[in-house]
Homo-oligomer: A and B are copies of this chain.
């Protein structure tokens, strides 16, 4: 069962791939959001692609959605539980329990969709404002040029 790529990255590389600082990686580890896949004998943190993907996910939730790290932790944990369910498939928990967890995930998903939709309309109306303002600016410029063409 060899993975897609079993390459290991030191903290600097992993941070660059996710577009954050090494300090951020250490802080997220401290908060329990992302742990390195392994450690070198010298004590260096070693990350795999799985962690880099998880990091990008965190950054997305923080930057795009503006969530705080506590809320992001909750979301990641519930997603992790869902992944476990998918992995264990039939052998694991009872079908009733799986049913519950999936419904819970669907609720979380619906809630997120609402939030994103809200953000989208807010951004769209802001963009409309900006284009309207730009049009006014161009009107002012036209006035200026007209006044210059027919001087007092």
Binds B, one of A12-20, A47-55, A121-129: A121-129
Q: Is the CB of B106 within 8 A of A64?
A: no
Q: Is the CB of B95 within 8 A of A144?
A: yes
Q: Which size bracket describes the interface of A in this complex?
A: 35 or more
The main secondary structure of chain A at its interface with chain B is helix
The one of B90, B117, B126, B138 in contact with A106, judged by C-beta atoms closer than 8 angstroms, is B138
The one of B113, B134, B141 in contact with A113, judged by C-beta atoms closer than 8 angstroms, is B134
A26 within 8 A of B: no
A84 within 8 A of B: no
Instruction: Please give me the residue from chain B that is nearest to A119 by CB atom.
Output: B123
Chain B residues with CB below 8 A from A120, complex form: 120, 123-124, 127
For A57-90 the 0/1 string (1 means CB < 8 A from B) is: 0001001111000000000000000000010001
For A92-115 the 0/1 string (1 means CB < 8 A from B) is: 000100110011011001101100
Chain B residues with CB below 8 A from A37, complex form: none
Q: Is the CB of A99 within 8 A of B63?
A: no
A130 within 8 A of B: yes
A140 within 8 A of B: yes
Instruction: Please give me the residue from chain B that is nearest to A106 by CB atom.
Output: B137
